[in-house]
Amino acid sequence: MVFASLFAALTAAGAYIQIPIPFSPVPVTLQVFFVLLAGSMLKSKWGSLSMVVYTLLGIAGLPVFAGGSSGLGVLLGPTGGYIFGFILAAFLTGKLAEKAEDTEKSGLAINALNMSTGILIIYALGVFQLMLVAEIGLGTALTLGAIPFIPGEIVKTSVAAYIASTYEL
């Protein structure tokens, strides 16, 4: 439970480390990094719970979302799908990590692959909501909300996979 709280706090801190992209409503943050670590290190139950706690803190009005924003309006806005994706990605990444441990096939490459699946979930939900809220097509939503972030996600995934492969909680 302590580690779930810690990862909720780290995800909130990761929201403050942001690089705005001039043509996109979605900033580059370190949130995804901590979501991936939460799922991989805390597994499905506690990893997803940490993201539920993070989301509830934001709904309650604490400035934990990107740029210090908060409230239900953020979840219903163009970037809300990414936040919903955090919960599902932590759960799925955790399930995949559990399965890898059961088959004794965990390691750097497996962690990176599991985390990549989590990233796909985050971006699928994020781009879908961006399309709906901004009333734009899939191509535009991918251009604004996914494609520019791929290089950064590769770096974050690589570092997170290394940490998850090296350290145990």
Question: Which spans in the chain are helix H?
Answer: 2-16, 31-59, 72-76, 80-102, 108-134, 138-145, 150-166
38 has a pLDDT exceeding 90: yes
Set out the domains of the chain in order of their start, with CATH numbers: 2-166 (1.10.1760.20)
Q: State the Cα–Cα distance between residues 112 and 93, nearest whole angstrom.
A: 10
DSSP at 29: E
4 has a pLDDT exceeding 90: yes
Which tens digit of pLDDT belongs to each residue from 54-112?
999 999 999 999 889 999 999 999 999 999 999 999 999 999 999 988 776 678 889 99
- What's the average model confidence in pLDDT over 19-43? 89
Query: Looking at residue 56, what is its pLDDT?
Result: 97
Query: Looking at residue 93, what is its pLDDT?
Result: 96
- Give pTM, 2 decimals: 0.91
CB 58 within 8 A of CB 74: yes
Give the rounded distance of the alpha carbon of 140 from its chain centre.
21
